[in-house]
Structure 1
Amino acid sequence: MRLVRLGAEPTKVGADIRAAISAWGAGRSVLGGVAVLGCRPPGAPRALDAVIVLPRGVVVVLGVDLPEPALKVEAPLRTPWTVDGWPLVRTEGAVNPGLEGLESAAALARSLQSRGLEPLPVAAVVVVGPYAGQVTQPTTDLHRGVRVVAPNTTAILAAARELATYERSCPVEPAQRLLEVLDEDCRVSAADLVEEGFPESADTDLATADTMLIPKFTDPPAAGRFSRRTALIAVASALVLLCAALVGWLAFGRPAASTAPPAPPVQRVDGVEFAQRVTDREQTCVTHSFGDVQRWFEQQPCRNLTRAVFETRVEGKPAAVSVAIVELPDEQSARELRNLAAEAGTGGITDLVAEGRGWPGGPDGFDDAAQVAQQSGTEVRIVQTVWRHRSSTPDDVALRALAERALRLTPRP
């Protein structure tokens, strides 16, 4: 981990954060990446103690100064925090520091997206100090990309590893541009970035490629080899059995086939499995969209439209995911579509279930779905998530977290 210090720590616990990150050492042996200390990215609501730029993700780190050391901190996102059973009172910043962390991460993500940079996920780590013996978060909050931890090396390192899980590594050149977004004076050489785990080019990342192990052939030991006579006997026996089977087939007719249907392809994102059920690819978007989005496509035709529906489970509850990937002629059109799709009541891409392409026992539809949209270059991804066999709401925290994960899915033919 390479450290770049731009300014003083905005919080008292910031010194502990800097010491914890410094302990990881240079190079990729522990984690790699670049930690920018004391910066305020464009649009950030406050100065950040650190922004950790990793090959597979970006983590904003916010320090929260407690009035005094605490034995137990309860840190939910929906309700105020409690410290040793008492509500947390702050003179500066939001009452709920977790929401402040999400806002800072979202602001940085928007800045990176508006500049067309590598679509790395931006998550948040909130560090509470000077001491916190135990920090607890609801399980549903963990899926939203924020961690609340004590100011020690192990806790911050574990949180960064959990949150930086993009499907491929960010190459050197986009990483340099990303660092310059944090501050124009934040420049790191290509050689230094390579040492910290960033690949030199955007070639296929072998760490994420689907691979199949092929067993190595080795000669059997001499003691276990069949003799020529034994091998001939074995071949003759096999021919006799084959002939008997052929006679039986001719005498009694061919049995009915009972081939089981193939298992759906499965992808894993952050430990969550997504089974692909249906998929479709078209070269037109007008007939597969509705509302203002459809009218927009009448003026700005797309090049390709890929849609798929997945099934998964969140804390044991079944859910369905609709993924639409739109390829457009240029980045300006992609940004316009992304902004339009992000607005409420503007229509969208018709999911395959609505076109009668569901599966038995699948979702009834994607009404009241949670939706997220992401633009990367000339491509726009729109993801919708719903619960199966129960009602859904667009602001459901668990469904929105699931949708953000599903942005990394790749539909397969």
Structure 2
Amino acid sequence: MRLIRLGNQPSRVGADVRAALSAWGPGVSVLGGFALLGAQPPDCPRPLDAVVVLPRGVLVVVGVDLPEPALKLEAPLSGQWKTDGWPLRHPAGATSPVQEALEAAQAVARRIQDMRGEPLPVTTVVAVGPYVGQVVQPSADLHKGVRVLHPKPTTLLAAARELATSDRPCSAEHAAKLIAVLAPVGTPPQRSTMLTEGFTDASEDLASASTMLLPKVRPQAEPTRPGWLPLAAAGVGLLALVGVITAVTSSGDDPQAAAPSTAASAQAGPTAVVVDGRSFAPRGRDGGAECAGHAFGDVQAWLEANGCRELARAQYSTEVDGRAAAVALAEVTASTSEGAAALREVAARVGSGGVVPLVKERGAWEGGPASFDNSAISSVARRDRVLVAQAVWADGASAADDPALVALAQQALGLPAR
């Protein structure tokens, strides 16, 4: 097990998580894999104490600081948590922190799926501290891929072996892509390091496409979260959990993890995105709640009638057989998955309009196309989101039925719009 420290742990018990993972040592003598400490993958609602990428699964570790040590913690997935018989409460009214942990794990799973990463099982570990002698979980809850535990080398190891149960191990190549997808800073470890951590040398692709991010730093705000209090402890103050996102490499951290640059802007995105072996350079992005105002034709009419939750747009430059090309993306988040499917049907019809590319509002970048007229278009609906990709040549005439541009538009559906 190798540690890649991306930021400070957002909880106090995170120090115990890190110590437990460090105790396993490098290589596969105990388990193998990589732990991304202090990571906050894109679209994840909170920073995580650890995302552990194992050859046969991904563990999302969420730390929960209890107000004081406990001999016994009753921790059902639904229902009231109790420490030594006393109910816990949260200032927001929640009766347990499990829902917050599950939301974080679901965000990680969505990120992997959206970026077409290796389809490993994603499970959840809720690490509680400062100390808990015994954790009681209903037996039915243990089958739902969630473990609540006080982090020690033995308890974390047992959870990892029970939860990371993929039928086949992940290859070194796909593990590098998983880490690139999940970590907002740094670069993946070298392939040789991947192999020493138990990832295989197999090259067969289980994902529908091969997508890899090589990200710049994305500075993050310092989150402050209220802690958990026993109902009887009226005099106990709130526990502030402050995660300061820095990249500090310690003696147990992986030397391949790159330190962030303080000069990076808040809008900094990936320096390169590789999809199926083709490199795409980001050329700007935009997002917001206004959708219909950036659309036209039947798509605009649909959005005016049905609304949307968010619109994200991005544009990229690339090359196809030595010729410069450009891609425009528009991702609309609808209110429901049914709404997304309906919008995709409208957007897929020839002459039905679409979303205005950024280049029309901001102007062309150097060497980029003046417009996306006569572009090849491809679209897909994923849950409540519709992604539309347009592809044109950077110079010269484009045609919607150009086979090279059609293939490029389909390939561009593996790019991030945000």
Q: TM-score, normalised by structure 1?
A: 0.50
| Larger relative helix fraction | 1
Bigger relative contact order (CA 8 A; separation at least 6) = 2
Q: Which has the larger radius of gyration?
A: 1
Q: TM-score, normalised by structure 2?
A: 0.49
